[in-house]
């Protein structure tokens, strides 16, 4: 039962009990004076007992509602945690697939690069072999065209240069001349 409904019920019960207590008290007053004091006290005790019973009942209802609410909240938290775990797992799987796909693409790219490098190396080797063959053919044709006479150096060495001034002379004191 909602909290407001319980509060209204409690208020209505109290409103009904107060006039009943007053009416009983008035009836007892008309009779014997000894019974009058006893019946008023009994009615008050009865009213407080009923009120205490209502409070206990409300407290038990509140605790039952709180327990039910706690159970519902714990289920909700469990469901949220499971949903979060599933979402995290799905994201992890997606990242793993993405990494795997990137690794496959990288492997394919490396294979293509290796094949292209091998082709370039083979082409360079062929070009080098062809160049060597052409050089050998040029040497063969060059030796066939030229006579076998040894070549002499056409350059002559220039004569040594003359000094501009005479060599220095040294005089010795006390020497003979």
Given CA atoms 162, 163, 166, 167 in this order, what sign does their dihedral have?
negative
pTM beyond 0.85: the answer is: no
* pLDDT score for 62: 95
Other CB atoms within a 10 A radius of the CB of residue 43 amount to: 19
pLDDT in tens, 67-114: 999 999 999 999 999 999 999 999 999 999 999 999 999 999 999 999
Q: What does 116-146 look like in DSSP terms, one character per residue?
A: HHHHHHHHHHHHHHHHHHHHHHHHHHHHHHS
CA separation for the pair 36, 32 (Å, rounded) = 6
The answer on pLDDT for 49 being more than 80 is yes
DSSP state of 21: H
DSSP 173: T
Q: Which residue matches tokens 């009213």?
A: 47
């Amino acid at each position: 039962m909602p909290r407001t409904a319980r509060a209204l019920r409690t208020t209505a019960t109290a409103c009904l009990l107060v006039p009943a207590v007053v009416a009983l008290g008035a009836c007892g007053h008309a009779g014997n004076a000894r019974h009058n004091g006893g019946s008023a006290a009994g009615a008050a005790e009865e009213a407080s007992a009923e009120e205490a019973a209502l409070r206990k009942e409300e407290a038990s209802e509140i605790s039952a509602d709180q327990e039910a609410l706690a159970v519902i909240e714990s289920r909700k938290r469990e469901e949220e945690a499971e949903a979060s775990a599933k979402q995290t797992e799905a994201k992890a799987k997606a990242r793993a697939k993405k990494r795997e796909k990137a690794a496959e693409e990288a492997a394919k790219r490396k294979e293509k690069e290796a094949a292209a490098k091998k082709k370039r190396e083979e082409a360079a080797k062929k070009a080098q072999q062809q160049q060597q063959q052409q050089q050998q053919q040029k040497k063969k044709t060059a030796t066939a065209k030229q006579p076998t006479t040894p070549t002499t150096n056409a350059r002559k060495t220039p004569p040594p240069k003359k000094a501009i001034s005479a060599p220095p002379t040294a005089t010795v004191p006390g020497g003979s001349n």
